Amino acid sequence: MSNENKMPKKNILSAQIDLSKFELATEEEKRQQDVMSESTTFFKDGMKRLRKNPLAMVSIVILILLLAVILISPKVVPYSYQDIITIDGVRDKTAKNLAPFQYSKMEQRYMAKGEKVFPHIFGTDEMSRDYFIRVVYGTRVSLTVGMFASVIVLIIGLIYGSISGYAGGRVDLIMMRIVDIIYSLPDLLMIILLSVVLGDVLGDKIQNTIFAKLGANMLSLFIVFGLLYWVSMARLIRGQILSIKSNDYVLASKAIGTKSGRIIRTHILPNCLSVIIISIALQIPSAIFTESYLSFLGLGVQAPMPSLGSLANAARSGLTSYPYKLFFPSMAIVLIVLAFNLLGDGLRDAFDPKLKK
Amino acid sequence: MTKLQIKEKIVLNKYVIKRIGLAILTIFIISLITFFTMNAIPGGPFDSEKATTPQVKAALEKRYNLDRPITEQYVLYMGNLLHGDWGVSIKTGREIWPTMSQSFGISAQLGGVAILVSLIFGIILGCISALTRNTLPDRLIVFFTTLMTSMPSFVLATLLLYLFCIKLGWIQVWSASSHNYILPIISLALYPMAYITRLTKTSMLDVLGQDYVRTAKAKGVATWKVIFKHTLRNALIPVITYVGPEIAYIITGSLVVENIFTIGGLGQKFVNSITNRDYTMIMATTLFLAIIMVIANLLTDIAYKVIDPRITLD
């Protein structure tokens, strides 16, 4: 028997493989054997799960659409949120309380001349202003308030929570007692109280500054949010940090003499990221809720500037005749809050490792 | 009593005392915030449209102790409060307490019924949802509760008002002659109901997976008995924790709901005092409602710890 592969034949009964019966694998075949999937990160993994959640994806699409509408339409629609509709340079006072896609007498005469008039998609309000653009600006204001408030809450809560959680011991105890007390304050009542007072106090002080355009009520809204709403975020981040702090890689980092600030930034905060993202997504709708609530009580944004809450409030007086005026801003609030809530739930399911299947 | 029971009792007492201490501190801080923010407003209460001579103003300020230093004013105010004297409205000149107690009666009725309704329907819907998991009834309930938790109470209240009072005409709009509590109660109760439904569902599902439920089923206990005796009783414990926050929600919700339905409760009085800038009334009402909320939270927390002995006390 010829031994082509120069393999010594030890024993006739041995289970040694006869290599002549085998072929060398080609490169392609080798690649087929490679069953390892691409390495994935925590973020990619979460996104993959999020993409499988239809409700969350629909929410994202709705939010993107809404964002597109409120960004683009002020450039397309030739009306402004604070001025009476003008035709040919003349103020059109006949355009009060028009139904959606209805034209005033002046506009009809103007159109009869062959000119074009942009339709009032949502009709007009009691001061002859285009209602669509007002709802668009109201949505802008409400969304901005929601986002800004969440950012303020995040920044304060993040700093406070990470210091408290990282420092531990007596510092932690004192800081958490303060949080406990603020947490047990009835937040909405305090917000109403502070908005009333701050609105009155700030009114004179901010004149002729950049804040004047924002309005005292809006500013006090942010201040109040900054003062009261950060506590739950601080608690959340502290809890997260306490559990991450006890990990070995933090100990290792400490052992090689890394400074505390750097440990927080490079090791601890990135691991809190999922919790932070989820709570922001859920914080925005709650801020929008609060803002619309305050606007409804007349403590929200300054007069010509609309917000969804103040639009809904203004629509109450003409409810019998013009129900659509209530319908549009209400729909916008519900849509935004619903989308953010569903997105937040989806994010939690996708990113919270505790709920992983 | 065994040694362990005595030890547990001591721990519980300690917790209760600590919790009461925190509540008193909170009320004290709320009173500080309300008092000093109200005093931060420019202009005194007697700088009104009506021209008052300096002498009259001085006399009025002396009457209401406004000529004293602010810390002394605070001590006086708190002293009066402890005697049940909530001060005088600066707009109407009347005592606050009679108005407040009377309108609070209306609000308390409204809120109490709303809480009951939300608890009853929330628990029933939660049970149905948990027991018919991933079938049509469950999906409908989930859809409904998600929608409800995304709707501010004022939107819901105005929509209900439009639909039932104006469009369909089934229920008369609130007036002096016709008192109809149905719509305000629905608008107050729906959001907490949706929340309780969710809470009951998750907690039911959790309990249904427990070993003792399986044991009961294996023993051949009747299904209804498993559900009511073994599952529901244990599943309701987390629901108790929500009653405190719910009272807070109902109180703040009633501010707008009472206004929409023009019910002369405390919520409407409060909002009116905001629009009129009746500072003493704002202050008294805020403090009053805040105290109710703090006490409600305190009682809920204590009840939770007493009912469920598994909760570890620190």
A344 touches A50 (CB < 8 A): no
Is the predicted pLDDT of residue A240 greater than 60, yes or no? yes
Nearest CB among A201, A323, A341 relative to B41 is that of A201
Interface residue A62 vs chain B (CB under 8 A): no
pLDDT for A353? 59
B148: which chain A residues are within 8 Å (Cβ-Cβ)? none
pLDDT for B314? 45
Is the predicted pLDDT of residue A281 greater than 50, yes or no? yes
What are the pLDDT digits (tens) for B1-57?
678 778 878 888 888 898 899 889 888 888 888 888 877 776 655 655 556 677 777
pTM confidence score: 0.79
Which of B252, B271, B281, B287 should be substituted to probe chain A, the one whose Cβ sees the most A Cβ atoms within 10 Å?
B252
How close B267 comes to chain A (CA, Å)? Answer: 11
How close A337 comes to chain B (CA, Å)? Answer: 5
What is the percentage of chain A residues whose pLDDT exceeds 70? 89
Nearest CA in chain A to B260: A316
A297–B26 CB contact, under 8 Å: no
pLDDT for A357? 39
Is the predicted pLDDT of residue B145 greater than 80, yes or no? yes
What are the pLDDT digits (tens) for A35-58?
666 777 777 888 888 888 888 899
At residue A180, the 3 state secondary structure works out as helix
CA distances from A351 to A178, B5, B174 (A): 30, 42, 48
Count Cβ atoms within 10 A of the Cβ of residue A256 and give its class: 0-12 exposed, 13-18 middle, 19 or more buried.
Answer: exposed
Count of A-B CB contacts under 8 Å: 116
Under the banding of pLDDT at 50, 70 and 90, the label for residue A7 is low
Q: DSSP character for A267?
A: I
Nearest CB among B150, B166, B294 relative to A337 is that of B150
pLDDT for A356? 46
What are the pLDDT digits (tens) for B200-256?
998 998 888 889 888 998 998 888 888 888 888 888 888 888 888 888 888 888 888
B150–A201 CB contact, under 8 Å: no
A312: which chain B residues are within 8 Å (Cβ-Cβ)? 154-155, 158
A120 touches A132 (CB < 8 A): yes
Note the residue count of chain A: 357
How close A46 comes to chain B (CA, Å)? Answer: 23
B288: which chain A residues are within 8 Å (Cβ-Cβ)? none
Longest dimension (CA), chain A: 110
B271–A297 CB contact, under 8 Å: yes
At residue B88, the 3 state secondary structure works out as strand
What is the predicted ipTM?
0.78
Nearest CB among A292, A293, A320 relative to B166 is that of A320
